[in-house]
Amino acid sequence: MGTAIQWRGVSSGQWEKVARHNREFVGAKCRKHGDIAVPLFRDYVRRASISGAVAANIRLRELSEELELGQTGLTATVHDEELKKWCDRHADEVEKACEQWTQRAGVREAIRYAIKRVEECGLVFPIDDTAKPVNNDTKNEWRQALARVFDPQWWRRQVRRIQARKIEKVAREIRLVSVSAGIYSSDATVTRRKAQRNRNREALAGLEATSDDGQTINMLDVVKTSTANPENRRNELMVRMRGFEECATAAGDSGLFVTLTAPSRFHAMAVNRVSGKAYANTKFDGSTPREAQAYFCRLWSRIRAQLWREGIRPYGFRIAEPHHDGTPHWHMMIHCPPGQMERLKQVLTLHGLADSPDEPGAQKQRVKLVEIDPSKGTAAGYIAKYVSKNIDGEGIDADLYGRDAKNSARRIDAWASAWGIRQFQQIGGASVTVWRELRRLKGEEIIASEPDPQTALEVYDAWEAADSADWAAYTICQGGVSVRRDEQLIRAQYEVSGLTKYYEEAQKITGVVARGFGDLCTRALVWVIQKAGTAERQEEARRAQMKGRNQRGSSLTELMEMSQGMSIDELQALEDELPWSFEFSGAQAAPWTCVSNCTAPAGQGFKSLIEAVNDESNEQSGEGIGGKGTGIRSRADAKEGKTDDRIVSGVSG
């Protein structure tokens, strides 16, 4: 066992604790899981000392299988570069195989094969009901699903998602997530999240956005000025929370701070109150943080439904944050009229304790309600530390467990990313999307539109409130804290800008629209994202061309006089003899950007399968997937500039 003893992180003394006949099995199962190989081994040794070698072997096999990505041959700890290569290769293989199945056995068998390959990898096929027939009613769904299955980027997104969750699930199982180990999320997940953010930063730094009026901005600078920047995100959240408090003060409403905790079965670890160390919770049933979050969403749905039936409309914010072992709990700062406060607390308690109400500590820990006393501080001030702790840790020295707040914020970010948990959500109030769009406008643009004077004044007031970061005034202008989205004075306006590469309508926001007012465009410029430096190179080329034209002076005049009455072919021949070039009026101009925003080309297999689905659909309803005017082309044809003849006839018909 020389090689085993040399395994980094595992000493010869530790290997001596493993029975000789189990060492090869244990080494093989642990080694292939990269970052968590050593923790897996240590968990095996601990389990063997408690339950015996047989139970430890069974557990190690189960954990190892949990970390495998279906039948891909990959594990959850695979390096990202290797994962990208696998996704590229796999998408191409599935597409080509589907083409062969289509030719050999028909479209239905090809689709069955595609479904099988997706499910073998532990993924969910991108259509709700895979038993749906292929006909005119379902053609778009199948077209969109197949476009995803043949796209390497779709595979990357899906595999990375389950990869992160598998790692974190096993990490919780082997006690890597707790106050005594990696708080909130495992070290492996934090490291992967850091690498992901670095990749994103490098990618953004290598891109620029160029508008049709010549503005060019690096994409990294764009992100820094948006709410993707933690500082901007925190500031905006605090403005909105403070605004709700001002609304409550103006209306004479009371504030309530709520903490909801999940039942014991969701918690992997508990904390000894004396020593402060974590220990395994014997009631833990293996539930993931995502399942715990789903529990809270269902709970709040029931609470909200009953409150609305009784005419109670609370408003404010909720925050989802993790316990030390990664199990989420909710904090809410909500407001309502004083006369409704007692009933609000009764409903919260009733539903919050409906699940496992008799377990130890449930009555004390599961639902905590604290009414806000204005004499002791503001509601916004009360919740500010929770906002900061879950974003960037700014203004806080340490978290609840005495850890550095900024480091804890990074670990919480990794936790939310891995489990796909929405940390902040507004309850009631007006649309923040409209708020952000109004802040892009100028007051003169509203006045210049010459609408109805009364409506113009209302819209201007809403704009002025948004522009001055007054969430309370903006909310009142929009209709109040309980206004429905379809009853707001101003709503966001969207338009369809074409189809995505998955053949779905691509909607983009263009501005806002107000009742009796009309449209206000907030996004007049058209931006193109391209490689950084492209705009500069284009400008240098333009200057060089202009310099050449200025140098030739009268030669250009002579050429124009000489070219009168010449044909295009003669002019082209003349151009070939000149050291500089010129453009013909009416000829097709070169693209102004060197990159294409079109979808990536696919192989011939996608075209064949789409055509087969068309035929199958035609048999069912007389119209295939590529019916009239749908504009379906295979990505291979798109690259060559070809269009299916049936589509041409469909459009012309």
Residues 312 and 373 in one domain: yes
End-to-end CA distance of the chain: 76
C-beta neighbour count of 247 within 10 angstroms: 22
Residues 412 and 487 in one domain: no
Residues 562 and 610 in one domain: no
Residues 321 and 378 in one domain: yes
Domain assignment present for residue 131? The answer is: no
Side-chain half-sphere CA neighbours of 30 within 13 A: 26
Mean of pLDDT values over 590-603: 40
Q: How far apart are CA 68 and CA 59, in angstroms?
A: 15
Task: Write the pLDDT tens digit of every residue in 376-418.
Answer: 888 888 888 899 999 999 988 888 888 999 999 999 999 999 9
Q: Is the pLDDT of residue 12 over 90?
A: no
Boundary residue ending a domain (427, 455, 476): 427
| Closest to 159 in 3D by CA, of 243, 72, 93 | 72
Q: Are 528 and 593 spatial neighbours (Cβ–Cβ below 8 Å)?
A: yes
The DSSP code sequence of 498-525 is: EE-TTS-EEEEEEEEEETTTEEEES--S
Boundary residue ending a domain (412, 427, 442): 427
pLDDT, averaged across the chain: 83
Q: How far apart are CA 346 and CA 186, in angstroms?
A: 38
Domain assignment present for residue 610? The answer is: yes
pLDDT at 283: 95
Grouping H, G, I as helix, E, B as strand and the rest as coil, residue 279 is: strand
β-sheet bridge partners, residue 427: 316
Catalytic residue annotation: 382, 386
Q: Where are the alpha helices (DSSP H) in 106-226?
A: 107-120, 139-149, 152-173, 187-205, 219-224
Domain assignment present for residue 171? The answer is: no
Residues 269 and 334 in one domain: yes
Q: Are 327 and 262 spatial neighbours (Cβ–Cβ below 8 Å)?
A: yes
Q: Is the pLDDT of residue 195 over 80?
A: yes
pTM of the entire predicted model: 0.82
Residues 423 and 439 in one domain: no
Sheet arrangement for strand 328-336: 367-371, 254-260, 328-336, 315-322, 424-427
Domain assignment present for residue 489? The answer is: yes
β-sheet bridge partners, residue 334: 256, 316
Task: Write the pLDDT tens digit of every residue in 411-450.
Answer: 999 999 999 999 999 999 999 999 999 999 888 777 766 5
Residues 545 and 612 in one domain: no
Residues 264 and 345 in one domain: yes
pLDDT band for position 140 (cuts 50, 70, 90): confident
Residues 419 and 438 in one domain: no
Residues 464 and 566 in one domain: no
Task: Name the DSSP letter for residue 177.
Answer: B
Domain assignment present for residue 372? The answer is: yes
Domain assignment present for residue 259? The answer is: yes
The dihedral sign for the CA sequence 455, 460, 461, 465? positive
Task: Report the CATH number at residue 392.
Answer: 3.30.70
Residues 407 and 348 in one domain: yes
Q: How far apart are CA 294 and CA 128, in angstroms?
A: 20
Domain assignment present for residue 114? The answer is: no
Measure the CA angle with vertex 570, ends 564 and 574; round to 5°: 90
Boundary residue ending a domain (392, 427, 462): 427
Domain assignment present for residue 557? The answer is: yes
* Domains in the chain, number: 4
Residues 6 or more apart whose Cβ sits within 8 Å of residue 385: 395, 396
Q: Is the pLDDT of residue 558 over 80?
A: no
Mean of pLDDT values over 19-25: 92
Q: Which residues of 180-218 are buried (b: 16+ CB within 10 A; e: fewer)?
A: bbbbbbbbbbbebbeeeeeeeeeebeebbbbeeeeebeb
Q: Is the pLDDT of residue 67 over 60?
A: yes
Domain range for 361:
230-427
Burial of residue 647, with CB atoms counted within 10 A of its CB: 0-12 exposed, 13-18 middle, 19 or more buried? middle
Residues 331 and 389 in one domain: yes
| Closest to 389 in 3D by CA, of 331, 325, 470, 428 | 331
Residues 6 or more apart whose Cβ sits within 8 Å of residue 290: 165, 419, 420, 421
